[in-house]
Amino acid sequence: MITYKRYFNKNIINEGGHKIEDYYGNKKIIWTSSGRGSIEYLIDIIGFQDNEYVLLPAFVAEGLIRPFKRKKIKFLFYKSNSELIPDTDDIKELLNEFKVKLIVVIHYFGYPQNIKLIRDFTDNRNILILEDCAQALFSCNGNGILLGTEGDFAVFSLPKFLPVPDGSFIIVNNSEYMHGKIKYRKSLLHFFSVISMIIYLYLKTFHVNKMQGGLSGVINPILLLLQIVYYYSTNYANNPVKISGYTLKNLQKFNYEKFISKRQNNILNIFKLQTLPFWKFLPVNINKINLTGIPLIAKNRKEIIRKLKNNKIEVLTYTKRWNFFSENEKSRCENEMKFYDEHFLLPVSENITEESFEKYFKTLTTIFSA
């Protein structure tokens, strides 16, 4: 079974000798329990005035919107092109019209955005940039520079990459904001979210490795339920919450070098499929990127997803949340609305072995050529 969702894999659990800080360590790093919690903490230290806005991309994860809603910060959506690259003209227009304090740029699926391009016109206006690296752990831009090191701040989300039940870190690159000390809050909900995710990870590992995806009709609803508990308990936790000791202990055990190289190898393999229809990716130097998944576009994506599922390949999609958008925003940001409807992500994972890759490749070729 080729799966997007994390599960425990002994391949990367063998005391690698590196820590995440070794990769990002010359910066100030703050650990919290979730990406949402990290963003709430940043909102606090940035300190928005009533008339100040944040600019968000219109292809957006709920996990990013949520903290701004909770903190009652006013947000506006900026446009991107059909490959989800920010439309700088649109951003400039919004900057002329509104008092913007922060621009959030998402490195979608791990693909690098050009932060310098935005910096060029924000620096002299005193506008901060947050790189949302929730989907971009260890991913680099075309110059080999780690994503998250060029904006004023960056936020990461660990469970999207690693088999851990919680965890996020913030990188503070802007020296003005380096000195505050984080005050964590206690949260019983966070406890529930960690427990539900630990059960999820064990069950998923058992399901994938021992049952080979068998009994899906029974296991999948349980896994879904655990994810729902995780999602809601993380959403309503009293942020910022401390990362769990369980995760911190496990983070010491991973061999990140192996993790990165296995994933990059799989990315290179999957990219061999790019001559097939539905292929859609942002132009990029693919040698040093680390992706959550490879985005493809298809008008009949439901049918393709069904075929992939029948062949035990799980895909991911970001569901549209129309309630975020006014009618005006929907027609303004039509590229993003189309992307919501037509995209899906092929799994990239350290768990895909050379043997399973052969089968993966064959199945994809058959499905996409049909």
Give the containing element (helix H, strand E) for 199.
Answer: helix 188-205
Query: What number of chain residues touch ligand PLP (CB under 6 A)?
Result: 13
How many whole angstroms separate alpha carbon 29 and alpha carbon 218?
Answer: 41
Cβ burial of 158 (10 Å; 0-12, 13-18, 19+) is: buried
Q: How far is the CB of 182 from ligand PLP (least distance, A)?
A: 16
**Span interacting with ligand PLP, options 129-137, 171-179, 247-255, 295-303, rule CB under 6 A:** 129-137
Least distance (Å) from ligand PLP to the CB of residue 166?
8
The answer to whether 55 contacts ligand PLP (rule: CB under 6 A) is no
**Which 156-175 residues touch ligand PLP, going by CB under 6 A?**
157, 168
Q: Residue 364 and residue 370: Cα distance in Å, rounded?
A: 10
3-state secondary structure of 128: strand
When CB distances to ligand PLP are compared, the closest residue is 35
CB of 185 to ligand PLP, least distance (A): 15
Stretch that binds ligand PLP, among 60-68, 85-93, 213-221, 245-253 (CB under 6 A): 60-68
Site string for ligand PLP, 205-244 (x = CB under 6 A): -----------------------------x----------
- Tell whether residue 134 is a contact of ligand PLP (CB under 6 A): yes
Cβ proximity to ligand PLP, 247 vs 266, nearer residue: 247
Tell me the two tokens of residue 189.
Answer: 């909900």
AA identity, residue 367: I
**Considering only residues 6, 31, 35, 58, which one is a binding residue for ligand PLP as defined by CB under 6 A?**
35
- Residues 85-124, one symbol each (x = binds ligand PLP by CB under 6 A, - = not), give ---------------------x------------------
Task: Give me the amino acid identity at 266.
Answer: N
How many Å apart are CA 344 and CA 363, to the nearest integer?
16
Q: Are 131 and 115 in contact (CB under 8 A)?
A: yes
Cβ neighbours of 123 (radius 10 Å): 10
Cα 43 to its chain centre, rounded Å, is 19
User: Cα–chain-centroid distance for residue 315?
Assistant: 15
Binding region for ligand PLP (CB under 6 A) out of 57-65, 120-128, 257-265, 329-337: 57-65
Residue 328 identity (one-letter amino acid): N
Closest approach of ligand PLP to the CB of residue 135, in Å: 6
Beta carbon of residue 268, minimum distance to ligand PLP (angstroms, whole number): 24
Which one, 61 or 140, has the nearer CB to ligand PLP?
Answer: 61
What is the rounded CA–CA span in Å between residue 137 and residue 131? Answer: 12
Tell the smallest beta-carbon distance from residue 157 to ligand PLP (Å). Answer: 3
Instruction: Indicate the SS3 state at residue 285.
Output: coil
Q: Would you count residue 36 as binding ligand PLP (CB under 6 A)?
A: yes
Q: Taking the C-alpha atoms of 173, 176, 177 and 181 in order, what is their torsion angle to the nearest 10 degrees?
A: 120
Residue count of the chain, please give it. Answer: 370
Contact residues toward ligand PLP (CB under 6 A) are 34-36, 61, 63-64, 106, 132, 134-135, 157, 168, 234
